[in-house]
Amino acid sequence: MANQILFLWLLSLTISTNSLIFLATSETYIVHMDLSAMPKSFSTHHTWFTATLDSIAAVTTTTASASSSSKLVYSYTNAIHGFTANLSPSELEMVKSSPGYLASVKDATVQLDTTHSTQFLGLSSKSGAWPVGGYGKDVIIGLVDTGICPESGSFSDDGMGAVPSRWKGECEAGVRFNSSLCNKKLIGARYFNKGLLSNRPNSTLSMNSARDTDGHGTHTSSTAAGRYVKHASYFGYGTGTASGVAPNARIAVYKAVWEEGVFVSDILAAIDQAIVDGVDVLSLSLGADGIALYEDPIAIATFAALEKGIFVSASAGNNGPYLRSVHNGTPWVLTVAASTMDREFTGTLTLGNGVSVTGLALFPGNSSSIPAPIVFVGACEKDDIEANKLQKKIVVCFDNNDTLSQQFYKIEGSNALGAIFITNSTDLEPYMQSTYPVLLLDLQSGKLVTDYIQNVGNGETKASMKFHGTRLGTKPSPRVTSYSSRGPSSSCPVVLKPDLTGPGSLILASWPNTISSASIQKDQELYSKFNLLSGTSMSCPHASGVAALLRAAHPDWSPSAIRSAMMTTSEILDNTLKPIQDIADNGNPASPLAMGSGHISPNKALNPGLIYDTKPEDYVNLLCGLNFTKTQIQTITRSSTFHCSNPSLDLNYPSFIAYFNGNDTKSTAKVVQVFKRTVTYVGDGSSTFTAKLTAISGLNVSVSPGKLTFRSKNEKQSYKLRIEGPNALKDEVVFGFLSWIESKGKIVVRSPIVATSLIGTVDTF
């Protein structure tokens, strides 16, 4: 009966508007619906969505078998209220006219953005987050990625107890993947590709299962929660015992990223299922750029996860160092930037006079101790270099014009035996993983080489190259990588993003040994059970693992409490006790737009002293403050019960960003911005915290009150931060920090403060 009523309504609408033209090509759309508008005759929202599409199919299709089955791609339960369907333009218009319709967006593509990293984070079996958090015991981390290689030693369940009874997931069978491949460590594996097949119906899937044919998902899963694996290395580099951040946590993988394409509808389906299955932490090493919150299905889905108490961490993106390049700038998600570690991979050049110099290298092939001729060419990007003069020789090149990229590929195309690049660049990682022997030397070491060649003469000089070295304790570190995307967030500029930074550069983690992890001589592929990858995709699972440790140690903490603890205890100094540097800014101190609150510090996050907590309604107040419409807010919250009774741009967040972007740079008028924050004491006994502000160029910053006294745990206190500045800043970005220092000096609760002349991109801001 319900189908007939809806059909007659749609049919009359179609006839009255004389729009029976359905010849246009169909495309895939994500449709948001208002569940409160569902007719009572339907038992579930799934049957309502199906009936809606059945009725449209009956009107627009002449075949007797027309039904929703050819239209419906996904029907969602938690991530959003709505469905994904394959619709022509006319059919989309009919959906828009149907009862309960809120909004729709075209399905879009999404991009994918360790033996030592746990030690670099300070994790130890003797004290701190590992033993206190039980190594993440029984916390379930869900990863939406390219799948997993279940045979990896990182996913062994030796010594693990029974799967938590609250777990509702399953191990979905598919090509070369059966349910027996899951265990007490890998407790769930599912795959989603209906969106891909709807958008690209002619695609042939390389592996229609949760099995990883890319490697990315295996790498991120083992980074977050891999078990201990001895003798792990990348062709001899970084040899040691590999471990994820939360080795006792459980893993559930949701394969929604395919070699053939990555679509939001599949990501949504994966998040939707992860919520139903009961994950505690959701790790998203992927994202899309330049999307408003109310049009961003991932932002909407993660709001649903937040309401279920699920902590979500997401990669900031690899589009740095440009400002406003960050993605996943959603206020209810932890947005993770990437930084280096205190580990370098090296090679050694031994000259004919016995002098040896060490530089950066990651050549995976075997070394040759046999001396070979070595020649100095100069700037190797020149077109007149004769390839035959380089054959079977070690070529020395000098990067005196920032032309390292051209030189690198010029020599790669020659028959040189190997290459030495002398450079003062600090961003050398892209040139380390080479298909031919490459060594990168600084100017001091390079001079030893060129002096030797010039003194002996090109015709008599000899040298040999040796690789597979690892050097720990390098300084300074960490440093923010150049590729890590910078804030502020274009989707929500009033909340400072990214939130923090973590290890993301040359991270060693598990890899399917059926997938090539390196190649030499252009076409000879090499295989390894571990691989070195870089990106915010790698820093994100580090944060996810830390969140699992905190969830295990503090099961009563909300997602925002966990995020707050991670942010306010982050480190802002490197291992030389100087401000963390930004590689892309010539080694100057990294701004919070690059590193957020600082570098993640798991042990300190266990006892943050104070936390900035938020509830879902606080985010709704923010959306109201951004002047989002009722429909836009309902699209995000999936609820019509929220009202804009208390709109506010001042979210209770552990960071601050103020805009001074007036047009009149000559005006002497002052602009005042005031932020209110409420902190909750999570320590034991009573305690007093005193405010300390670092000076910020061109601004007058104050905090009131200057002291906060707490008598008991969970007590709340509020304060105001006042920033006074000119109508328009002279500098594009200035920053400082507000620190609340506990009376005994053991706890520092730090928040970054950014003032900028950049213009926010949200029209209503």
Residues with active-site annotation: 145, 216, 537
Asked if 271 and 328 count as a contact pair (C-beta separation under 8 A), the reply is no
Asked if 301 and 79 count as a contact pair (C-beta separation under 8 A), the reply is yes
Asked if 421 and 399 count as a contact pair (C-beta separation under 8 A), the reply is yes
Q: ω before 321 within 30° of 0 (cis)?
A: yes
Q: Tokens 């991120």, residue?
A: 220
Give the burial class of 13: count Cβ atoms within 10 A of its Cβ; 0-12 exposed, 13-18 middle, 19 or more buried: middle
Asked if 114 and 503 count as a contact pair (C-beta separation under 8 A), the reply is yes
Question: 270-298 burial by CB neighbour count: b if 16+ within 10 A, else e?
Answer: bbbbbbebbbbbbbbbbbbbebbbbbbbb
Angle between helices 616-625 and 630-637 (to 10 degrees): 150
Asked if 337 and 315 count as a contact pair (C-beta separation under 8 A), the reply is no
Strand 261-262 versus strand 524-526 pairing type: unpaired
| Beta-carbon contacts of residue 289 (< 8 Å; ≥ 6 apart) | 111, 317, 319, 325, 327
Q: 3-state DSSP call for residue 525? A: strand
**What is the total residue count of the chain?**
765
Asked if 564 and 654 count as a contact pair (C-beta separation under 8 A), the reply is yes
Distance CA 362, CA 532 (A): 10
Asked if 622 and 494 count as a contact pair (C-beta separation under 8 A), the reply is yes
The secondary structure of residue 26, as a DSSP letter, is: P
| Beta-carbon contacts of residue 577 (< 8 Å; ≥ 6 apart) | none
Integer angstrom CA distances of residue 317 from 286, 428, 530, 738? 8, 19, 23, 27
Q: ω before 201 within 30° of 0 (cis)?
A: no
Q: Tokens 């005759």, residue?
A: 41
Q: Which two tokens stand for residue 554?
A: 């503090």
Asked if 372 and 393 count as a contact pair (C-beta separation under 8 A), the reply is yes
Distance CA 462, CA 394 (A): 9
